[in-house]
Amino acid sequence: MARSLYLASLEPRTGRSLVTLGVMELLTSRIGKVGYFRPVILSGDVPDPRTELIVQRFGLDATSHPLSAYSAEQIDHLLADGETDDVFKTILERYKAIEEHYDFVLVDGTDYTGMSAALEFDFNAQVANHLGAPVLPVVNGEGRSVADVIDALRIARESLLAEGCTLAAAIVNRVAAEDVEQVRRLLGRSLHSEPVWVIPEVAMLGMPTVREIADELDAVILHDGGATLDREVSAIKIAAMTLPNVLSHVDTGRLLVTPGDRSDIIVGALASRVATTFPNIAALVLTGGHAPDPQVMRLIEGLADVPVPVLAVELDTYESAGAIAATPAVIRADNERKVSTALLLFEEHVDTEALATTIEVTSTERVTPLMFEYALRQRARADRRHIVLPEGTEPRILRAADVLLRRRVVDLTLLGNVKDVEDRITSLGLDLGEVSIIEPASSDLRERFAEQYLELRRHKGIELEFAWQAMADVSYFGTMMVHNDLADGMVSGSAHTTQHTIRPGFEIIRTRPGVSVVSSVFLMLLADRVLVYGDCAVNPEPDAEELADIAISSAATAAQFGIEPRIAMLSYSTGVSGKGRAVERVRKATELVRERREDLEVEGPIQYDAAIDASVGEAKLPGSAVAGRATVFIFPDLNTGNNTYKAVQRSSGAVAVGPVLQGLNKPINDLSRGCTVDDIINTVTITAVQAQDG
């Protein structure tokens, strides 16, 4: 099996960040331990954007060993001085230092920003050969006709083969959307022995963000109004005419450039963002080092809720416009919108199974967090489900929704006041065009839901007025959507208590047949495996019957997510060594599990160290099928479980996904109020997978 792959281009502007990101995601999901190396970066004085993207996205160690060998300037001097052999020797040494720590290394070639194109092509081909890495060339389709695209690929292929390179596959990127199918048909008739994939151009990936422009121009941010600086700029317009003419050129995503002393244009541009009759501009850049008049600044400061960044620069108007136009558009790890778009493009247009086979990637028994999340996402996408999110104005929920929709993991409904939700989406610079928004209080479904809830809870003495009021609550309304199959699952809790989220589920969805207690698990994503911890969130002091039920439900959850269940019933003693009520409760629960499910491997009572460490397990319970190999850990009470999962999470860097509720007829899952966007994405994805198996 090849232990490396070399990404190479024959020209600039191939959009290789997208390909690098997609290939790295594929490799990491299959192998887990993948390194990254760039023989040459543009400059040694500033961070390399693509290296930063990969390091941050995949959590690579950039301190133990350098991830590059030279800057473009260093290479120019060394090659001009005839130091070619020393250059290749150093690159090989740096590569080998990385290879020692990883199962596979993705090598990312140069970007055609330094030496001449001919020299740079020869250089990349020679580096690939020295490293023994098969090459995946990336061909630029931007602005080319179909015939020119085919010619460019032919030239790339023939040139690399002439240099003695081994080709793994090829990708043609940035092809005009209307030409993609024709290019594919022509390539399908070719005699190339290696596969070729075609990826269309997506304009947004080629647009710089307001933040990138601000950094490039060293701008001072006078006002942001809560707007995201990660919004893409679709076009630039110099606003040096009269205000009516400027307003006629206002367009969505456009950046206006005007002298800092043009108070009329400043005020008019900000007013256009408030008015519903004008499109939303991306930002306003004030040039010439002119500060707005004090009265205008006072006005700007009072427009705290107007989501338009106002930037000030020292350059004059035309210099500023030129610098903005030259600002490179990059994919940054913290711009989830671009990252998600790039990954979706790659996964939709590249046959990742075929690519994995082509570069001889083999699976291992290791399951890293990225591998688990990738498999989870692919599974959710294969049978897409509809999830309702009651907290429709919460920024973290909306950012997660943007990622989930862009990656087509689920379909979504947001609950809340429609105008409030839409305004918050706009202020965050998001585009949730495919999302459904429902306001429970004014929905046509409210009366129907109230009548159903009355029937479900009539035995508790509730009346129609109470049911009517309950259905204005987003948690109750969302739960009724799930009950009526208008959604497959619900995720809430980022802005509500656990009780507010799950109580409607107990009342409406109710438990599965044969399940006596609703419980929860956390999926603990450790560095090299995934464990299941239960119950860490719902049941304070379960009795033996409930513990057995929790163990059986947790084993089913583990199997549902591809984890072979081996159950450890945890206690402060192992085997027959301990006495006391707490130990006896665990011992009885273990016996109940064995009686009810003879097919399950279970051990208890057992201490945590004996359950997870093979040497300790063998010493304390020799011959046990679970000791030292447990994957499902059942804690004796909520106090122990909650503290343990948090201790493991914080001390080991594990990713804790959950709590995942189990035992309900349909999936309802709770979020921590301190959850991150990634936590929300994972929980929604898990809920969708639960719904598939429901």
Task: Work out the pLDDT band at 362, boundaries 50, 70, 90.
Answer: very low
Mean pLDDT of 295-299: 84
* Contact criterion met (CB below 8 Å) for 11 and 117: yes
Tell me the C-alpha distance between 690 and 694, whole Å. Answer: 6
Tell me the C-alpha distance between 626 and 628, whole Å. Answer: 6
Neighbouring C-alpha atoms within 13 Å toward the C-beta of 415: 26
Yes or no: domain 4-205+337-356 corresponds to CATH 3.40.50.300: yes
pLDDT at 113: 57
Tokens of 435: 């999302």
Mean pLDDT of 429-441: 87
CATH architecture of 208-325: 3-Layer(aba) Sandwich (3.40)
Number of H helices, E strands in the chain: 27, 23
Neighbouring C-alpha atoms within 13 Å toward the C-beta of 296: 19
pTM of the model: 0.75
For residue 326, pLDDT over 80 is answered with: yes
CB atoms within 10 A of CB 618: 14
Task: Work out the pLDDT band at 129, boundaries 50, 70, 90.
Answer: confident
* Contact criterion met (CB below 8 Å) for 82 and 75: no
For residue 365, pLDDT over 60 is answered with: no
pLDDT digits (tens, 9 = 90+) for 533-568: 988 888 899 999 999 999 999 999 999 888 899 999
pLDDT at 116: 54
Share of the chain above pLDDT 70, in %: 96
Angle at 331 between CA 330 and CA 333, to 5 degrees: 135
Q: Residues 6 or more apart from 604 whose CB is under 8 A from it?
A: 567, 568, 569, 570, 571, 586, 587, 589, 590, 634
DSSP conformation class of 8: E
For residue 363, pLDDT over 70 is answered with: no
Angle at 372 between CA 366 and CA 375, to 5 degrees: 115
Residue 70's identity, in one-letter code, is: Y
* Contact criterion met (CB below 8 Å) for 631 and 531: yes
pLDDT digits (tens, 9 = 90+) for 205-223: 888 999 999 998 999 988 8
**Region(s) of the chain under CATH 3.40.50.300:** 4-205+337-356
pLDDT at 240: 83
Tell me the C-alpha distance between 612 and 566, whole Å. Answer: 11
Yes or no: domain 385-487 corresponds to CATH 3.30.70.100: no
Angle at 286 between CA 283 and CA 287, to 5 degrees: 135
pLDDT at 118: 56
**Region(s) of the chain under CATH 3.40.50.10950:** 385-487
Q: What mean pLDDT value characterizes the chain?
A: 87
pLDDT at 658: 81
Mean pLDDT of 431-440: 88
Q: Which class would CATH give 511-663?
A: alpha beta
Higher per-residue confidence, 29 vs 360: 29
Mean pLDDT of 273-287: 87
Q: Residues 6 or more apart from 613 whose CB is under 8 A from it?
A: 628
**Region(s) of the chain under CATH 3.40.1390.20:** 208-325
SS (H, E, C) 113-127: CCCCHHHHHHHHHHH
Bridge-based pairing of strands 220-223 and 310-312 is antiparallel
CB atoms within 10 A of CB 495: 16
DSSP 526-570: -SS-EEEEE-SSS-SS--HHHHHHHHHHHHHHHHHTT---EEEEE
pLDDT at 275: 81
pLDDT at 190: 65
Question: Alpha carbon of 619 to those of 127, 172, 613, 615: distances in Å?
Answer: 52, 58, 10, 6
Alpha-carbon torsion, ordered 21, 22, 23, 28, to 10 deg: 80
Question: Alpha carbon of 210 to those of 127, 185, 266: distances in Å?
Answer: 37, 39, 17
Higher per-residue confidence, 486 vs 270: 486
For residue 600, pLDDT over 50 is answered with: yes
